[in-house]
Amino acid sequence: MSSPAIEVRGLRKSYGTKLALAGVDLTVEPGTVQGYIGANGAGKTTTVRILIGLLEGFEGEARVAGFDPRTEQVEVKRRIGYVPENAALFDTMTVAEYLLLVGRLHDLDDSVIIDRCTEILDALDLTSRLVSRVSSLSKGMRQKLLFCAALVHDPEVLFLDEPLTGLDVNASMLIKELIRELADRGRTIFYCSHVLDVVERVCDRIAIVDEGKLVAEGTFAELVDQRGIGSLEGILASLTDGGGEEDKARRILAALSDDGEG
């Protein structure tokens, strides 16, 4: 049997007096699209930053592709791709220069980088911007560039944090299909998003985190059976501080209607 692609045990992390993660346990098998959802501040990004080797000072155990991100950051980074919602890029570089840099950091030959990136950029309709400065790219174009950089070395594990932000409809459809195809090839995708209908459709399993704790995990069908609620939105609301949106909306409208007199 193959070892887990991702495994965390008793994962805890604090920022000063604020507890961001309070003992998360999660195992993700190879070839799985693992959804990881929760409200803002629930601990999602902290978890991802620990797993990709960008955050230290945590308690518990973590393994990605068999390596410890605390002590084996380089080995972890060799095996992962990462697409954040927003990323600081080298704005003065051209698209081609940036991708060559990323590929070389992964010890790829230039010919391999060029062949792979040509195909990826063509599929994403970004080939025409090869000589454009990164600073000139729109939000959606920058997101496409991040995908290309994350995929160029064919990573074992792909971390996606709100990956569809800024993408047009066609690009979003392509990325969702690509996620499924990658999983079918045995790659593992760790998918964080607030777009719950997409999580329902593309994820094999879904973990829900609230205030640093894992409060539910399973397939969408299993979560529906456990909670007796037919939508991921409803399930998430029932497990967190969500819900009551209709009443909140009415209160906002009432405030807007108040003329301030009397």
What is the reported pLDDT for 85? 82
- The phi-psi region of residue 16 (left if phi > 0; otherwise alpha if psi is between -120 and 50; otherwise beta) is left
What is the reported pLDDT for 1? 47
What is the reported pLDDT for 252? 82
What does DSSP say about strands 205-210 and 213-218: parallel, antiparallel, or unpaired? antiparallel
Token pair of 72, please? 């084996």
What is the reported pLDDT for 7? 97
Could you tell me if 152 and 103 are in contact, meaning their C-beta atoms sit under 8 angstroms apart?
yes
What is the reported pLDDT for 188? 97
* Mean pLDDT for back-to-back runs of 10 residues, the chain (262 residues): 88 92 95 94 92 93 95 94 85 94 96 95 93 93 94 96 90 93 95 91 94 94 91 88 69 77 56
Token pair of 97, please? 């220069």
Closest CA to 38 of 215, 164, 166, 249: 215
Instruction: For residues 166 and 171, give the distance between their C-alpha atoms in angstroms, rounded to a whole number.
Output: 10
pTM value is 0.90
| Alpha-carbon torsion angle 141, 87, 160, 73, nearest 10 | 140
What is the reported pLDDT for 260? 63
What is the reported pLDDT for 243? 56
All domains in the chain, ordered by first residue: 6-245 (3.40.50.300)
Dihedral angle sign, alpha carbons of residues 190, 187, 53, 176: negative
